[in-house]
Structure 1
C-alpha cells in the first residue's frame, strides 16, 4: 500500500484563476486524493505561510538549445546538445516547471529518458522538428550555397523543409512515426532567422494538409506566427495555438476567438535576444537585433489587446532563446503587459493544461490529478522573483527539489 502524504497549512491556488484558499492537500499513489482541512497521512509537509499550486507548464521551450550564437551552435559537437539538455531540464524543474512542450529539438529518446527516471526534469511533450518552406523560418540555406541547419537530421529527427502538400504530408507522417506529441509549423518569418517577420510562409493548401494529417493521427498543430497575415492563415487552417503573436490586428484577434485558438506569447524571448547582444560579441542572423527591437515595441501591446478581447493564453517562454531556469519571468512579463496575477498563474497551470488537452492529469489541484505541485514561499503581487521563492517541487507526489532556503519540514505522523 502506497504511503499517504499531506501538504498542510498552505494557501492552495488550484489552477482555475481563483485566489488561493487555506487547505490541506492529500496525496497517495502519486495523485491528489483530497483537498480539505484536518487531513491526516503517514508523512506531512508543513506549508504554513506558503502557496501550494500546480506545477508550472511551459508550452514553448527548446531544451536542446543553450546558445544563441548561431556560429557557436554550429561548431558544437553533434551530441553535446543532448547532454546540455539534461542541465537545462533540471534548472527548469527547479524553477517550478513540471511539464514543458518542446517546440523543436527534443526527440523521443529524451522524452523516454525523463519518463523512466534516467534523467530529471519536467515531463516532455515533443514537436521534434519545425515544418517550414524553402527560404522560410527553419531553412538554414546560406548565401554562400552551404546548407547549415542548427540540427542535422538523424533517425527520429527528420528534415523539416517542405514544399507542396505531398512533402508536407510525408514529413508529418515521419514525425508521427518518430512519436511526436505535437506538430509545429512556421507560417511567418522569425527574429532568429534570415527572414522577414512580416512574410507569410506556407500556402493555405500546405497548412491545411499539415493540420489534416496531424489530426488523422490525433495530434494538434502549433504555429510559429509573428505577424498578422501568417497568424490569420494559421488560424483559418485549424491550428491549436499561435506561438509569439508579436503583431496582432483586430481581424487576427477576432479569428482566434472565433476558432478557439490559444495564444502562447513568449514575451520574454525578444528581450533575451537583446540582452544577449548587449553582453558582447554574438553571431546572429542579419537583422535579428532590429527585429527583436521591433518585437519588443509591439509585442506587449498585442498581448494586452488579445487578453482584453478574451483570447485564451497559455504560458510559453521560448527558453533556449530565453534563459533556461528563468521560465517564471514570463509570469511577471504577462502581468506587466496587463494580465492579472491570478490570470497569469492560470495561464501557466490550468489554462496551459486545457490547451494541451491534459486538464484531467495536470495543471489543477483537484482530486484525481497527478500530484505535480510547487510550494512557493511568497508570491509577489507582480509575480517577480517567482523562481527564487520556490521552496519545493513535487512530481507524481515525490519531492524532486527543495529550494536552498527550503522552510517546509517533512514529519512522520
Structure 2
C-alpha cells in the first residue's frame, strides 16, 4: 500500500493539546503514524501551515439557501436536491469533512454522497425537526395557508406533532426514514415570525417520549433551544445537545454540566440573518428584530457556558447563512471567549465525540480515518480559515481539487 506522508508543518491532533511540528503518515485510508522524521512514498508538503483532522459542522441545512417566504414559494420542489449537491461541495471544499444535517436532507441525499454521486462531507441526518403546533417548525401563516421550509414527502414526514402518542409515532417514522439523530424545537426561534425564542415548547412528557424512542433505536436527541426554560426542559429529559443556547441562565448551565450535555452555539446564524436582511433579502421585520435582539445575549451565554466547563461542539446553521462560510464560526467562538485551541477542538475531537464517531475520526492518531485538512498559517490563529485551507482529504485522498469554487451557490429564482 502507498504511504502518504504529510510533512513539513505543524500537527494539530484534534485534542486539547497544542499543535507541534511533526509528520502524519496515512496508509489505506487510515492514519498509521504520527511523529517526527517519518517517511512515505508520496509527500504532501505542509510547510508554512498545519495538518488537522477534517473539521465538523454539527448543525447545517444542506437543502436551504438563506430562505425567504417568497423564495420558497417560487422554488420548484425538486431544486432543493440539486441545491444540496452544490452546498455539500462548497462545505467540503472549505475543510468540513463531516456534517450533521439539522433538518431537510433525506436518506437519498446521504446515499448519493456515500455512493460518490455527489461530492460532500460525511453526513448524519435528523430528517425533520419536531415542533408543536404553533412552534418553531409550524409554517402556518396568518393568511391561513402553509409555506413550509421543508415540504413533506415520502422521505421526510411533517414534523408538527402534539401529545406523547403523536410524538412516539412520528419519532418512529423519522427513524424509519433513516435518521441518525432526532431533532426537536423546545423553544420558539428567530426565523419563525410568530413565536418567541424565550418561550418553552413541548411539555416534559412529550420530550421524554422522544428521548425514550431515540434511545431504544440507539440514537440521541438534539434540541433547537434558545430560551432558558426550554433548554432546561430538554436537558432534564435527556437531550444530548442544545443547539443555539441563546438565553442560558446559571441553572441551565449547571444542569448541562450535571447531565453532560453539549452546547452547539451556532453564533453564525443570527449574524447571517442580519447580513441577509441588509443585502435585501425580504425577511419579515419580526425576524430581523429578533436576530438583532439575540446577538449580544448569545455571545454572553456561550462565554459563561465555556467558562463553566460545558462541552462545546461547532455548528453554524449554514443554510440560514451561505454554505462554505462554516469556518467563520471559529472566529465567533474566539470572540465569545474560547481560545483558538478550544475552538479547533470544538470542530474536531469534541464534535466527533458528540456525534458518536470519536473512534473513527476527529483526531489524528493511529487507526483513525484519514479525513484531513491542510491549512496555511499558524493554528493559534483561526481568523480567515476559509481562505487559508490549502487542501482537503477524505480517507487520505485529496478531494477539493476536483470540486467547484468554494463560493458556489444556487441562484435564487429572481437572479
TM over 0.5: yes
Aligned length: 402
Query: How far did residue 401 of structure 1 move?
Result: 1.4
User: For 1:380 and 1:48, how far apart are their aligned partners in 2?
Assistant: 13
How is 1:324-335 mapped onto 2 (pairs within 5 angstroms)?
324-335=323-334
Q: Counterpart in 2 of 1:87?
A: 86
Q: Counterpart in 2 of 1:226?
A: 226
Q: Which runs of 5+ in 2 are unaligned?
A: 404-415
User: For 1:379 and 1:287, how far apart are their aligned partners in 2?
Assistant: 41
Query: How far did residue 403 of structure 1 move?
Result: 10
Q: Counterpart in 1 of 2:109?
A: 110
How is 1:198-347 mapped onto 2 (pairs within 5 angstroms)?
198-280=198-280, 282-285=281-284, 287-347=286-346
Q: Counterpart in 1 of 2:395?
A: 396
Contact 2:313 2:347 in 1 (8 A): yes
1:354 aligns with 2:353: yes
How is 1:40-51 mapped onto 2 (pairs within 5 angstroms)?
40-51=39-50
Structure 1-normalised TM-score? 0.95
The Cα offsets for residues 83-115 of structure 1, whole Å up to 9 and x where unpaired, read as 011111111111110000000011111101111
User: For 1:381 and 1:358, how far apart are their aligned partners in 2?
Assistant: 26
The Cα offsets for residues 182-206 of structure 1, whole Å up to 9 and x where unpaired, read as 1000000000002111111011100
Contact 2:106 2:156 in 1 (8 A): yes
Contact 2:225 2:245 in 1 (8 A): yes
Give secondary structure in 2 for the equivalent of 1:338. coil
Query: How far did residue 233 of structure 1 move?
Result: 0.3
How is 1:17-28 mapped onto 2 (pairs within 5 angstroms)?
17-28=16-27
Query: How far did residue 283 of structure 1 move?
Result: 2.9
User: For 1:95 and 1:376, how far apart are their aligned partners in 2?
Assistant: 10
1:172 aligns with 2:179: no
The Cα offsets for residues 102-161 of structure 1, whole Å up to 9 and x where unpaired, read as 000111111011111111011111001000100101001111211221221111101100
Give secondary structure in 1 for the equivalent of 2:160. coil
Give secondary structure in 2 for the equivalent of 1:320. coil
The Cα offsets for residues 302-332 of structure 1, whole Å up to 9 and x where unpaired, read as 1000000000000000000122101000000
Give secondary structure in 1 for the equivalent of 2:215. helix
The Cα offsets for residues 364-384 of structure 1, whole Å up to 9 and x where unpaired, read as 011111000000011375411
Query: How far did residue 17 of structure 1 move?
Result: 2.0
Q: Which moved more, 1:377-386 or 1:11-20?
A: 377-386
User: For 2:351 and 2:183, how far apart are their aligned partners in 1?
Assistant: 17
Query: How far did residue 64 of structure 1 move?
Result: 0.5
Query: How far did residue 18 of structure 1 move?
Result: 1.4
Structure 2-normalised TM-score? 0.95
User: For 2:330 and 2:347, how far apart are their aligned partners in 1?
Assistant: 8
The Cα offsets for residues 265-320 of structure 1, whole Å up to 9 and x where unpaired, read as 0001101100110112x332451111101111210001000000000000000000
The runs of at least 4 aligned residues of structure 1 exceeding 6 Å deviation read none
Q: Which runs of 5+ in 1 are unaligned?
A: 405-413
How is 1:134-153 mapped onto 2 (pairs within 5 angstroms)?
134-153=133-152
Query: How far did residue 25 of structure 1 move?
Result: 0.7
Contact 1:198 1:226 in 2 (8 A): yes
User: For 2:2 and 2:172, how far apart are their aligned partners in 1?
Assistant: 43
Give secondary structure in 1 for the equivalent of 2:159. coil
Q: Counterpart in 2 of 1:407?
A: none
Cα RMSD for the two superposed structures: 1.3
Contact 1:88 1:325 in 2 (8 A): yes
Q: Counterpart in 2 of 1:197?
A: 197
Contact 2:72 2:147 in 1 (8 A): no
Q: Counterpart in 1 of 2:153?
A: 154
